[in-house]
Amino acid sequence: MRGFKGIFLLSVGLFLNINSVFAQLKIEQWNRFELKLPNNSDKNSFSDNLLSATFTHKDTSITVSGFYDGNNQYIVRFMPDKTGIWKYSTKSAFTPLNNKKGEFECIKASANNHGIVRVSQTYHFKYADSTAYFPLGTTAYAWTHMADDVQEQTLKSLQNSGFNKIRMCVFPKNYELVKEEPTIYPYAVKEIKKDAKGNEVKIWDFSQFNPAFFQHLEKRIDDLQALGIEADLIVFHPYDKGRWGFDEMPMEANLNYIKYLVARLASFRNIWWSLANEYDFVKSKTDKDWETLIKAVVKADPYHHLCSIHGSTAKYFNYQMPEITHTSIQDGAPVLNWGGAAIVRSIYPKPIIFDEVGYEGNLKSRWGRYSGEEMNHMVWMGLLGGTYVTHGESYMFKDHRDTIFWAKGGQFKGNSWKRAALARQILSETGPLEMADVSRDFKTATNGKGTYLIYFGKEMLEEWIFDLPHKNASSERPKPGTKYKVDIIDTWDMSITKVNTTFEASEANDYRIADKSNRKIRLPLKPYIALRITQTNPD
């Protein structure tokens, strides 16, 4: 019966193909299907309700908004998740765009395509194909607004790094050390005025998007996708200061912008929505406004990409809001002191990302002058607490035209970026971590399956006597006789050294487990050392 059914289904497939005029279009899961629809009309506009399409796969039906791409062309984009035949049908007030029907076959994702990133096990992430995703991002706010060669250099830098996420803004940035005028803008210019000082000020037509601006952004997001990097896209930011005014558009324009942006970009599988950077510095918007804008993004996005918002130092948005999938915190405090990161994780039942804890660099401002060691240390302090820390770099060797990676991208000049791959490697080997004995032991994390990670930070030790918490988070506690092997990880010198000793757990004594023979190991008397302690029995 099973064999017969299979053959029957196959022949249906063949039947459909035979009846198609063109060869069946094949789209990988989580890749982008794109339908281009020309429409010669003087009524073409960027209004958000002119075109939609419903995609159907067996019992699943997803409706997406199309968008006007200029030049008398509308586009509908769709990201299929399930393999098999997807059929679509369009709706539009324009007859040539209405009731367009078609189908494509969604095929299994290829090896490097793991799909959209989702929350997993409350505090962590995985790709749609169940591959674990451990975010280790960096930041280059305005990299897509720099000169082309700088953008290409940024991509090369990222390719050579271990980063798998980047924080980047849609709008250009006007800040003390970032003054570059973009060559392309998101809106058409309605009028050019002169301000009191005689400078030209562009007055935008918020009803007229500039498709070329978004096409460029899309190209860069696809470039990142090819490198396996998630684009944590910052929808609004305060770094404008009257220069372009994108931080103080009317609320209606904000909402139209969101609808247009999401219609264009939701089908990019590596998109995350970050509603704002330093939202509390955007003077024109209240917390209530941000809630409205967050809800607008989530409502417009049929795939529910990850979504968060980022504040200034120690400014915590109400991350309990159900539409927010994870935190995106600016605060060094939780990773500068023991136990801090885990406190934040105890509070929010969501993945904790500290997206700004400081930058390795040489700036005058204290946020931009951490050593590479300190930057890397903060990454590990977060990791130990079962949380994730974003890297950042802000070296400037010449003047403000220098490409400070933090905003402009370009070349990495520091040292901590080279350590990202090791942190990700360790995480991919241990799996998601959490504190083993939260509130009591601030240096020991566990994967709940027999592996512990101890991180000593700046403490320099010449030996470690086997000593684990008996508590193993919410997992079963180790039994006497459990055997362990140990690796010494030098998080700064990037070495993993196997120790040739097998340890054996004794009976728990007053909340701790010692080795039966009080075995100990030599440590290199250096800072930034971690131990990975792995259960070896039962095999």
For a second copy, which stretch binds (CB under 8 A), given 257-265, 310-318, 392-400, 448-456?
Answer: 310-318
Phi and psi angles of residue 518, each rounded to the nearest 5 degrees, phi first: 50, 40
Question: Minimum distance from CB of 527 to a second copy (Å)?
Answer: 18
For a second copy, which stretch binds (CB under 8 A), given 46-54, 255-263, 335-343, 489-497?
Answer: 335-343
In single-letter form, the type of residue at position 281 comes to: F
Could you give the angle at the alpha carbon of 288 between the alpha carbons of 285 and 292, nearest 5°?
A: 95
With 0-12 / 13-18 / 19 or more C-beta atoms within 10 angstroms meaning exposed / middle / buried, residue 332 is buried
Cβ nearer to a second copy, comparing 130 with 337: 337
Q: Which member of 75, 107, 132, 333 binds a second copy (CB under 8 A)?
A: 333
State how far the Cα of 267 lies from the Cα of 325, in Å rounded to an integer: 18
Helix, strand, coil percentages (3-state) for the chain, rounded to 5, are 25, 30, 45
Cβ nearer to a second copy, comparing 316 with 536: 316
Cβ nearer to a second copy, comparing 119 with 255: 119
Q: Which member of 314, 460, 465, 525 binds a second copy (CB under 8 A)?
A: 314
Cβ nearer to a second copy, comparing 45 with 318: 318
Residue 188 engages a second copy in binding (rule: CB under 8 A): no
SS (H, E, C) 247-292: CCCCHHHHHHHHHHHHHHHCCCCCEEEEEECCHHHCCCCCHHHHHH
Question: Minimum distance from CB of 334 to a second copy (Å)?
Answer: 6
Cβ nearer to a second copy, comparing 115 with 334: 334
Question: Minimum distance from CB of 397 to a second copy (Å)?
Answer: 21
Please name which of 466, 475, 444 lies closest in space to residue 513, comparing C-alpha atoms: 466
Phi and psi angles of residue 463, each rounded to the nearest 5 degrees, phi first: -155, 160
Residue 318 engages a second copy in binding (rule: CB under 8 A): yes
Question: Minimum distance from CB of 133 to a second copy (Å)?
Answer: 25
Question: Minimum distance from CB of 352 to a second copy (Å)?
Answer: 11
State how far the Cα of 52 lies from the Cα of 97, in Å rounded to an integer: 9
Question: Minimum distance from CB of 46 to a second copy (Å)?
Answer: 37
Please name which of 226, 238, 280, 267 lies closest in space to residue 141, comparing C-alpha atoms: 238
Q: Which member of 87, 94, 338, 461 binds a second copy (CB under 8 A)?
A: 338
For the chain, the distance separating the N- and C-terminal CA atoms, rounded to the nearest angstrom, is 40
Residues 500-539 within binding reach of a second copy (CB under 8 A)? 510-511
Phi-psi group of 268: left, alpha or beta (phi > 0 → left; psi -120 to 50 → alpha; rest → beta): beta
Question: Minimum distance from CB of 336 to a second copy (Å)?
Answer: 7
Tell me the sheet residues that pair with 448.
Answer: none
Cβ nearer to a second copy, comparing 109 with 342: 342
Question: Minimum distance from CB of 319 to a second copy (Å)?
Answer: 8
Cβ nearer to a second copy, comparing 168 with 344: 344
CB 29 within 8 A of CB 267: no
User: Residue with structure tokens 């990880």?
Assistant: 489
For a second copy, which stretch binds (CB under 8 A), given 106-114, 115-123, 326-334, 389-397?
Answer: 326-334
With 0-12 / 13-18 / 19 or more C-beta atoms within 10 angstroms meaning exposed / middle / buried, residue 304 is middle
Interface mask toward a second copy for 357-396; x: CB under 8 A:
---------x------------------------------
Residue 496 engages a second copy in binding (rule: CB under 8 A): no
Distance of CA 46 to the CA centre of its chain: 28
Q: Which member of 70, 162, 228, 339 binds a second copy (CB under 8 A)?
A: 339
State how far the Cα of 141 lies from the Cα of 126, in Å rounded to an integer: 25
With 0-12 / 13-18 / 19 or more C-beta atoms within 10 angstroms meaning exposed / middle / buried, residue 358 is buried
Tokens linked to 179: 């003054």
Residues 416-455 within binding reach of a second copy (CB under 8 A)? 438-440, 442
Q: Which member of 11, 45, 49, 320 binds a second copy (CB under 8 A)?
A: 320
Question: Minimum distance from CB of 349 to a second copy (Å)?
Answer: 8
Q: How many of the chain's residues bind a second copy (CB under 8 A)?
A: 27
Which residues of this protein are in contact with a second copy, per CB under 8 A?
313-316, 318, 320, 331-334, 336-340, 342-344, 346-347, 366, 438-440, 442, 510-511
